[in-house]
């Protein structure tokens, strides 16, 4: 089934000049980019995006990291997009991620792991509408 999902190239990905490499991998893997933008999150926006994690011990550090520089937000469409993006990304901790995944190849720690991807259709819906006006998402 064709699905939409949201990916974010995190500040460490942008600063390592990995925008092109991440997009290349996504397109090579048959993801269609329906929309994308570079933004710099305020602390409040980062906290809103990651609100589901607000009770976790790493919340402050995570939201500070997400604001340290620009990010690239991508609205993606593909067959089984949600699960396939997660597979391309690899496990949260780059040290535990499979060989050949984006996080394994470029991540430097469990926090600085280069890429975000929605983990379910409910989170994809929330995250897409967080960044994009739904009426402008078709192409
Ligand atoms: P994922 O990004 O793989 O969906 P998650 O939703 O559990 O992982 O956590 C969101 C982000 O929070 C993750 O990309 C990096 C950070 N994070 C998760 N667990 C962490 C931990 N134990 N220490 C520091 N940061 C963590
Ligand atoms: Mg997650």
Residue 136, pLDDT above cutoff 80:
no
pLDDT on residue 121: 98
**Candidates 50, 90, 92, 117: which one to mutate for ligand 1, based on the most atoms within 8 Å of Cβ?**
92
Q: Quick one: which of 1, 10, 3 has its CA closest to 123?
A: 3
pLDDT on residue 15: 98
Residue 1, pLDDT above cutoff 90:
no
Q: What is the pLDDT of residues 86-123, one digit of tens each?
A: 999 999 999 999 999 999 999 999 999 999 999 999 99
Cα separation, 25 vs 88, in Å, equals 8
Active site residue 53: no
**55 CA to centre of ligand 1 in angstroms:** 13
Element (H, E) at 79: strand 71-79
What's the CATH class of domain 2-131? alpha beta
| Residues 130 and 49: beta-carbon distance below 8 Å | yes
Residue 100, Ramachandran bin (φ over 0: left; ψ between -120 and 50: alpha; else beta): left
**Total-model pTM:** 0.97
Catalytic residue among 116, 117, 118, 132: 116
């Amino acid at each position: 089934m064709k699905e939409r999902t949201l990916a974010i190239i995190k500040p460490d990905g942008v600063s390592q000049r990995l925008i092109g490499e991440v997009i290349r991998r996504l397109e090579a893997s048959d993801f269609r980019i329906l929309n994308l933008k570079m933004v710099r999150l305020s602390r409040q926006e980062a906290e809103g995006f990651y609100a589901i994690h607000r009770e976790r011990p790493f919340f402050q550090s995570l939201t500070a990291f997400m604001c340290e520089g620009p990010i690239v937000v991508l609205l993606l469409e593909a067959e089984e997009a949600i699960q396939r993006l997660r597979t391309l990304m690899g496990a949260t901790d780059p040290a535990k991620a499979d060989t050949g995944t984006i996080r394994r190849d470029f991540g430097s720690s469990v926090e600085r792991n280069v890429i975000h991807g929605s983990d379910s259709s409910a989170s994809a819906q929330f995250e897409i509408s967080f960044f994009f006006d739904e009426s402008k998402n078709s192409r």
